[in-house]
Amino acid sequence: MKIDRITLRKIVLPLKSPFVTHHGRLEERPLIIVEARDGDGRVGYGEVTAFPTPFYTSETIHTAWYVLQELLIPSVLSKNVHHPKDIGSIMEGFQGHPMAKAGLEGSLWDLYSKQEEVSLSQLIGGTRKFVTAGAVISLRDDMESYIHDLKKDGYHRYKLKVKKGYEHETIETVQEIDPDLPIMIDANGQYDEKDIDHLKSLDQYGLMMLEQPFAPGDFYLHRELQKKLQTPLCLDESVSGFHDAVQGVQLESCQIINVKISRVGGLMAAIQIHDYCKRKGFPVWCGGMVESGISKAHNLALASLPNFTIPGDLSGSLRYFEKDIINSGIQINKGQIEVPQGPGIGVDVDEEYLHHVTCEAYTFSV
């Protein structure tokens, strides 16, 4: 494939309303956009979805910028890249930093697909033209009106952020609003061994799943809880790459895996996890990171693969933002989102607005 130059952009997108979890409150969303250009004017876009502080994983926007600028991009541009899947081996000499790697790799997948004049979904073997949408509900006071709005859009799954000690209250509040709502809870690793009996008490609610109750990497405690729990456990932060997914399955630490392109180090790793779980009969779903339409388009391509059988964190491009950085937008219709079929990720980036929200930029030329 041809690469002429790569540009990093640090941007900030205002949120419609604060996104609140037990970790804290986001008023705006900083992101890094990676642009890979060739000499014919084609542009591939990737996105780094790390947060300002290391509350979700050890990465931050600042560490990702440094690693991309000083290590990853110079290393990739010094090699002859024939296909996006090649860069995994180029970057494997640098430990960790999966979100930085995923953003760079994503820009090359988009560029390569455009050079081949096929959609990213088609390139990776996607089979779905539409995927089912799921909503994330942060900790908020206007729960009833918010859920009412989500139901109008037809979301098929509702993920509740919870705070330790208030899970029953949150779940019961939602079930009073709609007792038939398909809900799961996202624990974000805030529990430890002494909370096992407390977590067992959540079985009474018939949840779709309980996501990541224990710390990242603790396959043992997740296995011990899953033995005692009827509710399926889902691993999120524990799976930072293909090997982690294999451990989770082999150790019976879960029954479901949440696959996030950015968290596992890129699209290639996400596809490997999908294929492995499909062979093992483990369902997967595509997670989200309060991201722009660029990252959402990458997620839609991934979720078009056949084993993504559970509604993911897939939503319209204006779900979180008053204005997104893509023109056409990603729309939800009766709970379904169309997988873009144009070349690459299949969405049109609003370059004028992208430049407007850019705080810092740096370009590397071959």
Integer angstrom CA distances of residue 190 from 26, 214, 263: 19, 6, 18
* CATH number of the structural domain spanning residue 47: 3.30.390.10
* CATH number of the structural domain spanning residue 239: 3.20.20.120
Q: Judge if 305 and 358 occupy the same domain.
A: no
Predicted confidence (pLDDT) at residue 141 exceeds the cutoff of 70: no
Predicted TM-score of the model (pTM):
0.94
Helix locations, the chain, DSSP H: 61-67, 73-77, 87-91, 98-116, 120-123, 143-153, 167-177, 196-200, 219-228, 242-250, 261-264, 267-280, 293-303, 351-356
Q: Quote the pLDDT of residue 17.
A: 77
Q: Judge if 225 and 327 occupy the same domain.
A: yes
Q: Quote the pLDDT of residue 319.
A: 77
Q: Judge if 138 and 113 occupy the same domain.
A: no
Q: Judge if 131 and 252 occupy the same domain.
A: yes
343 belongs to a structural domain: no
| Contact between residue 327 and residue 351 where contact means Cβ atoms under 8 Å apart | no
* Active site positions, annotated: 161, 260
Number of domains present in the structure of the chain: 2
Considering only residues 92 and 352, tell me which one the structure prediction assigns the higher pLDDT. Answer: 352
Q: Judge if 155 and 92 occupy the same domain.
A: no
Q: Quote the pLDDT of residue 145.
A: 87
34: part of which helix (H) or strand (E)? strand 24-37
Considering only residues 321 and 259, tell me which one the structure prediction assigns the higher pLDDT. Answer: 259
Q: Judge if 31 and 143 occupy the same domain.
A: no
285: CB partners within 8 A, 6+ apart: 134, 256, 258, 259, 303, 308, 309, 310, 311, 312, 313
345 belongs to a structural domain: no
Decide: residue 16, CB within 10 A, 0-12 exposed, 13-18 middle, 19+ buried: exposed
User: pLDDT band for position 55 (50/70/90)?
Assistant: confident
For 315-350, b/e burial (b = at least 16 CB within 10 A) is bbbbbbbeebbbeeebebeebbbebbebbbbbbebb
User: pLDDT band for position 268 (50/70/90)?
Assistant: very high
Q: Judge if 40 and 126 occupy the same domain.
A: no
Q: Quote the pLDDT of residue 318.
A: 78
Q: What is the pLDDT of residues 283-329, one digit of tens each?
A: 999 999 999 999 999 999 999 999 999 999 998 877 788 899 999 77
Q: Quote the pLDDT of residue 23.
A: 63
Q: Quote the pLDDT of residue 22.
A: 60
Predicted confidence (pLDDT) at residue 272 exceeds the cutoff of 70: yes
344 belongs to a structural domain: no
Q: Judge if 213 and 330 occupy the same domain.
A: yes
* DSSP calls for 278-344: HHHT--EEE---S--HHHHHHHHHHHTSTTB-S-BS---TTSSBSS-SBSS---EETTEEEPP-SSB
Q: Judge if 188 and 240 occupy the same domain.
A: yes
346 belongs to a structural domain: no
Q: What is the pLDDT of residues 318-359, one digit of tens each?
A: 778 889 999 977 889 989 999 999 999 999 999 999 999 999
254 belongs to a structural domain: yes
130 belongs to a structural domain: yes
256 belongs to a structural domain: yes
Q: Quote the pLDDT of residue 320.
A: 81
- Work out the average pLDDT over 26-34: 93
Q: What is the pLDDT of residues 151-208, one digit of tens each?
A: 988 899 999 989 899 999 999 999 999 999 999 999 999 999 999 999 999 999 999 9
Average pLDDT, the chain: 94
Predicted confidence (pLDDT) at residue 13 exceeds the cutoff of 70: yes
pLDDT more than 70, % of the chain: 98
Q: Judge if 152 and 278 occupy the same domain.
A: yes
Q: Judge if 104 and 126 occupy the same domain.
A: no
- Work out the average pLDDT over 72-99: 94
Separation of CA 327 from chain center: 21
80 belongs to a structural domain: yes
Predicted confidence (pLDDT) at residue 43 exceeds the cutoff of 70: yes
Q: Judge if 270 and 256 occupy the same domain.
A: yes
User: What's the first-to-final CA gap in the chain, in angstroms?
Assistant: 13
- Work out the average pLDDT over 79-102: 94
Q: Which residue range forms the structural domain that includes residue 40?
A: 5-117+351-365
- Work out the average pLDDT over 252-258: 97
Decide: residue 314, CB within 10 A, 0-12 exposed, 13-18 middle, 19+ buried: buried
User: For residue 359, what are its two tokens?
Assistant: 């705080």
pLDDT more than 90, % of the chain: 83
